Amino acid sequence: MKFQGISYALCMERNTRQRAAIRDAIAQAQRPLLPQEVLDAAQREVPGLGIATVYRNLKALVEEGELQPVNLPGENVRYESVGHHHHHHFQCTQCQRVFDVHACPGDLSRLAPPGFTVEDHDLTLYGRCLECGTGRPGHPSRRATG
């Protein structure tokens, strides 16, 4: 039926735009994003986008191998693009945002107890990001807006 065909096409078109906006939000941020941060950014492209749609698309993009979850202790899951190799993260204690750290201390075997074998490591740095700065007078912290 012609009418159903048209509405299906419109629906697919809408889904494609939603997914593209969600993918772009993470690609442009170049850091791991919370679903809420993805929503805030993607809503600029697709007004009316809902958090449930964001969750559904994030899950699908992980299953399709485009995104990977970032699990920091005590934090909600964030999402980043796959494809960067071994890297670490920095969390700002002021604005709570998480950034990529493209440096690694290398082999940490010496930190393990004698006789133990280190197979992998995970490292998160905590502090203040560039925007939150040091909080010194005369250097007001600049907040990201809309």
Nearest to Zn ion of 50, 135 (CB atom): 135
Please check whether residue 134 is in contact with residue 128, taking contact to mean a CB–CB distance below 8 angstroms: yes
Least CB distance to Zn ion at residue 95 (A):
3
Nearest to Zn ion of 26, 129 (CB atom): 129
Of the CA atoms within 13 Å of residue 42, those in its CB half-sphere come to 29
Nearest to Zn ion of 4, 76 (CB atom): 76
Least CB distance to Zn ion at residue 100 (A):
12
Please check whether residue 80 is in contact with residue 68, taking contact to mean a CB–CB distance below 8 angstroms: yes
Least CB distance to Zn ion at residue 6 (A):
47
Task: Report the alpha-carbon angle 105-110-112, nearest 5.
Answer: 110
Nearest to Zn ion of 20, 132 (CB atom): 132
Least CB distance to Zn ion at residue 113 (A):
20
Please check whether residue 46 is in contact with residue 18, taking contact to mean a CB–CB distance below 8 angstroms: yes
Query: Residues interacting with Zn ion, by CB under 5 A?
Result: 92, 94-95, 104, 129, 132
Which contiguous run of DSSP H or E holds residue 41?
helix 35-42
